[in-house]
Structure 1
Amino acid sequence: MPIVRSAKFAVGDIVRHRLFDFRGVIYDIDPIFANSEAWYEAIPIDIRPPKDQPFYHLLAENSENSYVAYVSQQNLVPDDSEIPVSHPSIEQLFHKDSNGGYQLRSRH
Protein backbone atom coordinates (compact mmCIF):
# COMPACT_ATOMS: atom_id res chain seq x y z
CA MET A 1 0.00 0.00 0.00
CA PRO A 2 1.41 3.45 -0.91
CA ILE A 3 2.41 5.92 1.77
CA VAL A 4 0.01 8.86 1.67
CA ARG A 5 1.49 12.23 2.56
CA SER A 6 -0.49 15.07 4.12
CA ALA A 7 -1.71 17.85 1.88
CA LYS A 8 0.55 20.87 2.14
CA PHE A 9 -1.98 23.22 0.52
CA ALA A 10 -5.73 23.78 0.98
CA VAL A 11 -8.71 24.59 -1.22
CA GLY A 12 -8.58 28.31 -1.97
CA ASP A 13 -4.78 28.59 -1.76
CA ILE A 14 -2.98 30.37 -4.60
CA VAL A 15 0.00 28.37 -5.81
CA ARG A 16 2.62 28.54 -8.54
CA HIS A 17 4.14 25.64 -10.49
CA ARG A 18 7.74 24.97 -9.53
CA LEU A 19 8.93 24.24 -13.08
CA PHE A 20 6.45 25.86 -15.46
CA ASP A 21 5.22 29.43 -15.67
CA PHE A 22 1.66 29.18 -14.38
CA ARG A 23 -0.25 29.78 -11.19
CA GLY A 24 -3.75 29.12 -9.93
CA VAL A 25 -6.26 28.60 -7.16
CA ILE A 26 -6.76 25.11 -5.73
CA TYR A 27 -10.37 23.95 -6.00
CA ASP A 28 -10.01 20.24 -5.14
CA ILE A 29 -7.42 17.82 -3.74
CA ASP A 30 -6.85 14.11 -4.36
CA PRO A 31 -4.88 12.41 -1.54
CA ILE A 32 -3.03 10.35 -4.16
CA PHE A 33 -2.94 10.35 -7.96
CA ALA A 34 -6.46 9.88 -9.37
CA ASN A 35 -6.17 10.72 -13.06
CA SER A 36 -5.87 8.38 -16.06
CA GLU A 37 -2.82 6.24 -16.78
CA ALA A 38 -2.61 7.83 -20.23
CA TRP A 39 -2.34 11.28 -18.61
CA TYR A 40 0.37 10.01 -16.25
CA GLU A 41 2.34 8.24 -18.98
CA ALA A 42 2.31 11.43 -21.09
CA ILE A 43 4.53 13.15 -18.51
CA PRO A 44 8.20 12.82 -19.48
CA ILE A 45 9.76 10.15 -17.27
CA ASP A 46 12.54 12.45 -16.04
CA ILE A 47 9.96 14.78 -14.44
CA ARG A 48 7.15 12.26 -13.73
CA PRO A 49 6.10 12.63 -10.08
CA PRO A 50 5.38 9.70 -7.76
CA LYS A 51 1.69 8.86 -7.44
CA ASP A 52 1.72 8.53 -3.63
CA GLN A 53 1.38 12.23 -2.89
CA PRO A 54 -1.48 14.72 -2.99
CA PHE A 55 -2.49 16.00 -6.43
CA TYR A 56 -4.27 19.33 -6.79
CA HIS A 57 -6.93 20.56 -9.20
CA LEU A 58 -6.25 24.19 -10.12
CA LEU A 59 -8.05 26.98 -11.89
CA ALA A 60 -4.81 27.86 -13.61
CA GLU A 61 -3.52 30.70 -15.73
CA ASN A 62 -0.39 31.86 -17.48
CA SER A 63 0.26 35.06 -19.40
CA GLU A 64 -1.78 33.78 -22.37
CA ASN A 65 -4.49 31.35 -21.21
CA SER A 66 -6.77 30.18 -18.44
CA TYR A 67 -7.32 26.46 -18.00
CA VAL A 68 -7.71 23.64 -15.49
CA ALA A 69 -4.54 21.90 -14.31
CA TYR A 70 -3.80 18.75 -12.28
CA VAL A 71 -0.50 19.07 -10.41
CA SER A 72 1.46 16.98 -7.90
CA GLN A 73 2.30 18.47 -4.53
CA GLN A 74 6.05 18.31 -5.22
CA ASN A 75 5.60 20.69 -8.15
CA LEU A 76 3.74 23.45 -6.31
CA VAL A 77 4.99 26.36 -4.23
CA PRO A 78 2.98 29.12 -2.53
CA ASP A 79 2.31 32.20 -4.65
CA ASP A 80 2.93 35.21 -2.43
CA SER A 81 2.52 37.81 -5.19
CA GLU A 82 -0.85 39.06 -3.81
CA ILE A 83 -2.03 39.39 -7.43
CA PRO A 84 -5.59 38.06 -7.83
CA VAL A 85 -6.10 35.06 -10.11
CA SER A 86 -8.24 36.11 -13.08
CA HIS A 87 -9.46 32.69 -14.24
CA PRO A 88 -13.01 33.06 -15.67
CA SER A 89 -14.39 30.31 -13.36
CA ILE A 90 -13.20 31.90 -10.10
CA GLU A 91 -16.52 33.67 -9.45
CA GLN A 92 -18.49 30.43 -9.95
CA LEU A 93 -16.54 28.48 -7.32
CA PHE A 94 -15.18 31.10 -4.91
CA HIS A 95 -15.92 34.36 -3.18
CA LYS A 96 -13.29 36.69 -1.74
CA ASP A 97 -13.09 36.90 2.04
CA SER A 98 -12.28 40.09 3.98
CA ASN A 99 -8.55 39.29 3.74
CA GLY A 100 -8.64 38.90 -0.06
CA GLY A 101 -8.43 35.10 0.12
CA TYR A 102 -10.56 32.66 -1.87
CA GLN A 103 -13.34 30.86 0.00
CA LEU A 104 -15.26 28.05 -1.69
CA ARG A 105 -18.90 28.96 -2.23
CA SER A 106 -21.38 26.75 -0.39
CA ARG A 107 -23.18 26.12 -3.70
CA HIS A 108 -21.53 26.03 -7.09
Structure 2
Amino acid sequence: MTRIHIARFNIGQVVRHRDDAFRGVIMDVDAGYDGPASDTGDLSADQPFYRVYAMGEDGGFVAYAAEGVLEHDDSRLTRADEKRWFTVDADGHHAPLDMRLH
Protein backbone atom coordinates (compact mmCIF):
# COMPACT_ATOMS: atom_id res chain seq x y z
CA MET A 1 0.00 0.00 0.00
CA THR A 2 1.31 3.44 -0.93
CA ARG A 3 1.65 5.93 1.91
CA ILE A 4 0.77 9.53 1.19
CA HIS A 5 2.67 12.17 3.12
CA ILE A 6 1.50 15.71 3.54
CA ALA A 7 4.33 18.16 3.90
CA ARG A 8 4.24 20.08 7.17
CA PHE A 9 6.11 23.10 5.79
CA ASN A 10 5.43 25.32 2.77
CA ILE A 11 7.77 26.75 0.20
CA GLY A 12 8.86 30.18 1.40
CA GLN A 13 8.28 29.38 5.09
CA VAL A 14 10.94 30.16 7.72
CA VAL A 15 12.14 27.08 9.65
CA ARG A 16 14.98 26.12 11.93
CA HIS A 17 16.85 22.89 12.53
CA ARG A 18 15.80 21.35 15.85
CA ASP A 19 19.44 21.25 16.99
CA ASP A 20 19.92 24.89 15.96
CA ALA A 21 22.33 23.86 13.22
CA PHE A 22 20.76 26.49 10.94
CA ARG A 23 17.78 28.74 10.32
CA GLY A 24 16.44 29.25 6.83
CA VAL A 25 13.66 29.28 4.27
CA ILE A 26 12.04 26.28 2.53
CA MET A 27 12.85 26.31 -1.20
CA ASP A 28 11.60 22.90 -2.33
CA VAL A 29 10.09 19.68 -0.95
CA ASP A 30 10.40 16.01 -1.90
CA ALA A 31 7.85 13.43 -0.72
CA GLY A 32 10.67 11.20 0.54
CA TYR A 33 14.38 10.60 0.24
CA ASP A 34 15.31 8.71 -2.94
CA GLY A 35 19.05 8.35 -2.38
CA PRO A 36 21.09 5.66 -0.62
CA ALA A 37 19.55 4.65 2.71
CA SER A 38 22.97 4.97 4.35
CA ASP A 39 22.88 8.75 3.70
CA THR A 40 19.95 9.36 6.06
CA GLY A 41 21.58 7.85 9.16
CA ASP A 42 18.99 7.32 11.89
CA LEU A 43 16.33 9.30 10.00
CA SER A 44 13.57 7.55 8.09
CA ALA A 45 13.73 8.13 4.34
CA ASP A 46 9.93 7.73 4.32
CA GLN A 47 9.14 11.36 5.22
CA PRO A 48 9.24 14.66 3.35
CA PHE A 49 12.70 16.12 2.75
CA TYR A 50 13.23 19.83 2.17
CA ARG A 51 15.78 21.95 0.40
CA VAL A 52 16.35 24.87 2.76
CA TYR A 53 18.21 28.08 2.01
CA ALA A 54 20.07 28.45 5.29
CA MET A 55 21.51 31.72 6.51
CA GLY A 56 24.92 31.49 8.14
CA GLU A 57 27.41 33.90 9.62
CA ASP A 58 29.64 33.67 6.55
CA GLY A 59 26.90 33.48 3.94
CA GLY A 60 23.97 31.42 2.78
CA PHE A 61 24.04 27.75 1.87
CA VAL A 62 21.56 25.09 0.75
CA ALA A 63 20.77 22.30 3.21
CA TYR A 64 18.75 19.15 2.49
CA ALA A 65 16.87 18.20 5.65
CA ALA A 66 14.29 15.65 6.75
CA GLU A 67 10.99 16.97 8.07
CA GLY A 68 11.69 15.30 11.42
CA VAL A 69 14.63 17.61 12.14
CA LEU A 70 12.90 20.86 11.19
CA GLU A 71 10.67 23.09 13.29
CA HIS A 72 8.54 26.08 12.41
CA ASP A 73 10.33 29.31 13.26
CA ASP A 74 7.71 31.89 14.10
CA SER A 75 10.24 34.64 14.64
CA ARG A 76 10.55 37.12 11.84
CA LEU A 77 13.63 37.65 9.76
CA THR A 78 15.26 40.98 10.40
CA ARG A 79 14.78 43.59 7.71
CA ALA A 80 18.53 43.43 7.09
CA ASP A 81 18.36 39.64 6.51
CA GLU A 82 15.41 40.03 4.17
CA LYS A 83 17.20 42.65 2.09
CA ARG A 84 20.49 40.76 2.09
CA TRP A 85 19.17 37.31 1.17
CA PHE A 86 15.58 37.32 -0.10
CA THR A 87 12.70 38.61 -2.11
CA VAL A 88 9.44 38.61 -0.13
CA ASP A 89 5.93 38.24 -1.55
CA ALA A 90 2.72 39.80 -0.23
CA ASP A 91 2.07 36.72 1.98
CA GLY A 92 5.48 36.99 3.66
CA HIS A 93 7.03 34.01 1.84
CA HIS A 94 10.73 34.30 1.09
CA ALA A 95 12.93 33.20 -1.82
CA PRO A 96 16.67 33.69 -2.34
CA LEU A 97 17.39 36.79 -4.40
CA ASP A 98 18.57 34.70 -7.35
CA MET A 99 15.45 32.45 -7.36
CA ARG A 100 11.78 33.09 -8.03
CA LEU A 101 9.06 32.17 -5.53
CA HIS A 102 7.00 29.13 -6.65
Query: With structure 2 as the length reference, what TM-score do the two structures score?
Result: 0.73
SS at match of 1:74: helix
TM-score when scaled to structure 1?
A: 0.70
Aligned equivalents of 2:72, 2:43: Cα separation in 1: 18
CA RMSD of aligned residues (A): 3.2
What SS does structure 2 have at the residue aligned with 1:8?
coil
Q: What is aligned with 2:67? A: 73
Cα 1:54/1:106, change in 2 over 3 Å: closer
Residue among 86, 98, 105 paired with 2:100 = 105
* Contact 1:2-1:52 within 8 A present in 2 as well: no
Q: Percent identity?
A: 32
The CA deviation string for residues 15-64 of structure 1, in whole angstroms up to 9 with x for no partner, is 00012331111111000113x32xx5355x4xx21011000001112334
| Residue of structure 1 equivalent to 2:38 | 41
User: Which residue of structure 2 lines up, in the alignment, with residue 31 of structure 1?
Assistant: 31
* Uncovered stretches (5+) of structure 1, i.e. residues with no partner: none
Letter in 1 for 2:29: I
1:13 maps to 13
Question: Residue by residue, what CA displacement relative to the aligned partner does 1:69-93 show, whole Å, maximum 9, x if unpaired?
Answer: 0000011111111014849x954xx
Secondary structure of the residue aligned to 2:63 is: strand
Q: Is the 8 A contact 1:21 1:62 kept in 2?
A: no
Distance in structure 2 (CA, Å) of the matches to 1:7 and 1:42: 21
Report the equivalent of 1:57.
Answer: 51
